[in-house]
Chains A and B, each alone.
Chain A
Amino acid sequence: MDTQGYGRLRRKIMTVTLVFSLVPLFALGFFVHLQFSKTYHEKIIRNLERAVDNRQKALDIFLDERVSQLKSLAYTHSYQQLSDPAQLNAIFNVVQTNSKSYVDMGVIDQNGEHVAYVGPFSLKRVNYKDEPWFHETMLKGQYVSDVFMGFRKFPHFIIAVMRREGDRTWILRATIDSEAFSSLVRGIHTGELGDAYLVNTEGVLQTPSRLAGPVMTKLSMPLPSPATAGNKDGTVIEERPVKDRTMIVGMAWLQRVPWLLVIMEDPKEELSALVRAQSIAAAMVAGGILLIITGAALTARSIINKLIKADREKAALDASLMQSSKMAALGKLAAGVAHEVNNPLTLIRESAGWIKDLLVDEDPEKMLHLEEIDVAANKIEMHVDRAKAVTHRMLGFGRRMEPMQENVSLNLLTDQTLKFLESEALHRNIEIIKRLDESIPNTTTDMAQIQQVILNILDNAIDAVGSNGAITVSTGKAEDGREIYVAIADTGCGIPKEKLNTIFDPFFTTKKVGEGTGLGLAICYGILEKLGGRVEVQSEEGKGSTFTIFLPVV
C-alpha cells in the first residue's frame, strides 16, 4: 500500500472511532443538559409560585389585621371617646407601640366632617363629604382605598371602618404608611434583577417598582382576569419580555383588595448555578472529546504503523521467496545446460586429442602445416578446458548437495582462507586488515562451503580494489546474538545502486569476457541459503563495498 492509502486508512479508522465515541457522548451531554435545565426551570417556577403565594397571603393578612384592628377600636370605643383628640391620641399611641403601620388616624362624622385627627398633617376640619372613599365606606361599612394623592398631595392609601352608634354613624379612618407597606410587598427580593409590586385593576402601580417606575405610574402590561382572584390556584406564572430581557413573572390577585401582586425574576440570575454546572459539564465534555480524539489518533497511528511494518515484512519475505525460487529455477536450468553441453565438449576435446595423436605419426617433412595444426588442436583443448570450467561451476551452482555438519570456528576459517590470498594481495599492494572478534561462538555448518563463499567474496574484493588499497575482514556477533558474521570491506570501485539487486543473479559479471563466469556470488548465495545463512551488501560507488556473511549459531 502506498503512503496515500495508509493516510486514507488512518482517516477512516479515525472517523469511525470518533463517530462511534463522540455521538454517544454528545447525545448524553445533550440529554443531561436538557433534563437539567428542565428540572431547574421547573424548580424556579415552583419557587416563584411559592413566593407569590406566600407574599399574597402575607399582604392579605396584613390588610385583614389592619381592618380588624380599626374595627376593634371603633366598636370598643364610643364616638365621644374617639372624637376627643386627647383620647384618640392615646389610643393611636398604644396601637403604634405594636406596629408602626399607620401614619395617622382620624374620626369623621356622617357629614364628612373630620372631627378628630392624630398625625403629622393638619387635616382637622377637612370635609370628606365629596370624596369617593367616604361614600364607599358609608355604603359598605369598611373600605380599603387604592393609592391616591388626596389632600396631602402625597401617594397613600387609607383604611376606613364605619360604626353605627344609635342614630349616629361615624367613620374611623387610618392612613397606612406606604413605606412600610411597600417594603412588605418587596419583601426579600430573590435577586438583584428581580422586582415586586402591586398594581390595581386599572394597571396603576400601588407600590413603587424598580423597573416600571414610582407609585401611581400607569402600567401598560396586560393583567390577568380578576376573576381568578380568590381561586385557590390564582397564581399565574408566565414568561414575558421586560426591557429586552425575558423575565419569569408570577402574579396573584389579593383577596382583600383588587390589587395584583406581581413578582418578577430574571431567570438568568436564578439559573446562574445551572449555568455554572453546565459550564463544568461542557468543560468535561470538551476534555472527553480531546481525550477521545487523542486516543483515536494514537490508536490509528499504532494500527497503521503495525500495518506498515507487516507490509514491509511481507514485501521482504516476498522478495526473498522470489529470489530463492529464482535461484532454484536458474540452478536447474544451469545444471541442465551444463550437462547437455558437457557431452559435445567431450567430443570436441577428444577429437582435438585424436588429431594430436595422429600428428605424432606424421612425417614433418611431408606435412606443410604440421606445427600449426598441432597449435590449433592444443588451442581447441585449451578452450574446451575453459568451457569445462564454466560448465562445472554451473553444475556446482545447481547442485543440491547435503551440506556437512561440522563444528566450525569462523575466526579460524577466515584466517585459513585469508592465507590463500595473502601472496596475491601482497603482490598487488593490498593491505589486509584483520579485526576478528575472539568472543564469537563456534557454529555447526559446512566448513568447505563457507570457505568457498569467503574465498569467492575475497576474490571479488581483490578484483574490485585492483591494486593499492585495503581489505578489512572483521568477524562478530549480530545484535540479537543468534547470528555470527564475517564482513569483508574493500576500498574498491563499489557497485552502482541499480546493479545491487542483480549481483547475486547467475551470469551477472562486471569482469571481462573469459575472466569471470558470473557465478561466484550466485554460488555464494545458494550455499548460504542452504546452510541457513545470508549475505548482505552495502556499497557506495567509488568508495567500496562491504559484503557481510551471516551464519546462524547452532
Chain B
Amino acid sequence: MEKARVLVVDDEKEFVDLFVNRFNKRNVLALGAGSGPEALKTLQTEPVDVVVLDLKMPGMDGIETLKEIKKRHPLVEVIMLTGHGSVEAGLQGMGHGAYDFIMKPFNIEDLLVRINKARERKALNEKRQA
C-alpha cells in the first residue's frame, strides 16, 4: 500500500511544521496549510486522502472549511482537531461529514490509527464508485 497522503490545517505554523515532520517520519506523506483557503488551494493540486482540520481558526473556521472540502472533494476524509475539549463541537463536525474528531493535545500513535482507518474508508468509497 502506498503512503497515506495527509494535509494538516492549523493557523499555528509551528504546529503544522512539527506535525508534517513527525508524520513524514511515520511513513505518511504529510502536507501543511496555515488556513482554510490555503488548504482548499492545496487540495486542488495535490491528491490528499485525509485532512486533519483544526476547528478554531481565524477567518474561515474549521466547520466552514470542512463544508467547503466536502463540497469540492467529497471523497476526502476529514478528522477534526479540537482544543475545546467539548464533544459538542466534535459532534457538530461529524454532522457535517467529518470522519472523526480528536482532542488536543493528542497522542500521535492514536491519531495515526485514526488516519489509517479514514484512509481505508476513502479507499473503500473510491472502489465503490469505480
Contact = CB atoms under 8 A, between A and B. Distances in A.
Interface size range on A against B: 20 to 34
B15 A391 contact: no
Interface in A297-349: 335, 338-339, 342-343, 345-349
A339 B83 contact: yes
Interface string B109-126: 000000000000000000
A392 B82 CA distance: 12
Nearest to B81: A346
B60 interface: no
B14 A392 contact: no
A354 B105 contact: no
Contact of A392 (B18, B21, B103): B103
B105 A401 contact: no
Interface in B79-100: 83-88
B85 A350 contact: no
Contact of B85 (A347, A353, A396): A396
Chain B CB within 10 Å — which of A339, A349, A350 has the most?
A350
A343 B11 CA distance: 11
Given A346-B83, A350-B18, A401-B86, 5 more contacts: A335-B85, A347-B18, A357-B21, A388-B105, A399-B88
A350 B86 contact: no
A357 B21 CA distance: 9
Given A351-B18, A354-B18, A346 B85 contact: no
A554 B22 CA distance: 53
28 contacts: A335-B85, A339-B84, A339-B85, A342-B84, A343-B104, A345-B104, A346-B83, A346-B104, A346-B105, A347-B14, A350-B18, A350-B105, A350-B108, A351-B18, A353-B18, A353-B22, A354-B21, A354-B22, A357-B21, A357-B25, A384-B105, A388-B105, A391-B85, A392-B103, A395-B84, A396-B85, A399-B88, A401-B86
B64 interface: no
Contacts of A338: 85
Contacts of A346: 15, 83, 104-106
A401 B88 contact: yes
A462 B92 CA distance: 39
B108 A342 contact: no
5 closest A-B pairs by CB: A395-B85, A342-B83, A346-B105, A350-B18, A346-B104
Nearest to A351: B18
Interface string B18-41: 110110010000000000000000
A345 B84 contact: no
A328 to B, nearest CB: 16
Nearest to A388: B105
A342 B84 CA distance: 8
B108 to A, nearest CB: 6
Contact of B15 (A335, A350, A395, A396): A350
A463 B88 CA distance: 33
Interface in A371-406: 384, 388, 391-392, 395-396, 399, 401
